[in-house]
Structure 1
Amino acid sequence: MINKGYLLGDRYRIIDTLGEGGMANVYLAEDIILQRKVAVKILRLDLQKEPQTLARFQREALATSELSHPNIVMVLDVGTDHGLPYMVMEYVDGPDLKDYIRANSPLHLGDIIRIMDQILSAMSLAHKHNVIHRDLKPQNILMDKHGNIKIADFGIAVALNQNSVTQTNSAIGSVHYMSPEQTRGGLVTKQSDIYSLGIILYELITGHVPFNGDSAVSIALKHAQEPIPSIRKQDPNIPQSLENVVLRATAKDPRDRYDSAKEMKDDLDSSLEPGRANEPVFKPTHGNNDDETIILPNFKSDPNSNRLTEESRIQNDETGDKSKVNHSSFTQALRKHKWWWLFVGIAAVLIVGLMFFVLNSNNHKDVRIPDVTNMSEKKARNKLENVGLKVGKIRHRSSDSIDRGKVIETSPTAGVEIKRGRYIDLYISDGAGMVRVPDVTGDEYEIAVHKLEKLGFEIIRENQFSSNVPPDHVISQSVAADVEVKPDQTTITLTVSEGKNHRPKDHMTKLPDLTNYSLKEAQEFAHKHGLTLQVSSAYSNKVKKGMIISMSPAVGTRVPRGSTISVNVSEGAKKERDLTAIKNFTVSYEDNDEDDSDDKRGNHVQIYVSDDKHSIENIYRDLYIKKDMNFSIPFELKDGPGQLKVVRDGQTILNEKVKND
Structure 2
Amino acid sequence: MITQGYLLGERYKILDTLGEGGMANVYLAEDIILQRKVAVKVLRLDLQRDPQTLHRFRREALATSELSHPNIVSVLDIGTDQGSPYMVMEYVKGPDLHQYLHDHYPLPFDLIIKIMDQILSAVALAHKHNVIHRDLKPENILIDENGKIKIADFGIAVALNQSTITQTNSTMGSVHYMSPEQTRGGMVTKQSDIYSLGIILYELIAGKVPFGGDSPISIALKHTHEPIPSLTKQNPAVPQALENVVLKATAKDPRDRYRSVIDMRSDLDTSLDPKRALEPVFLPQHDPNIEETRVLPVLIKDHAEEMSQANQNDKKAKNKKPASDKQKKGFWRNFYEHKFWFLGSIFSVIVILLILLLALGGRNSTQVPDLTNFTQSQARDSLNAAGLEIGDVSYQHSDKVEKGHIISSLPNKGSTIQRGQTVDLIISSGSGKTEVPDVTGLTYNQAKKKLTKLGFSVSREDSYSDSTKGTVINQSILAGEKVGASETTITLIVSRGKKSKPKSKTVKLRDLVGYSLKSVQDYAQENGLILKTEEQYSDSIDNGLVITQNPEPGSTLSKGDTLTVTVSKGKQSSTNNSEKITKSFTVDYDLNNANNGQGNHVQIYIADDSHQIENIYRDQYIKQDTNFSIPFEISKGTGTLIVVKDGTTIINERINK
Short-chain TM bin: 0.3 to 0.5
Task: With a CA cutoff of 8 Å and minimum separation of 6, indicate the structure with the bigger relative contact order.
Answer: 1
TM-score (norm 1): 0.47
TM-score (norm 2): 0.47
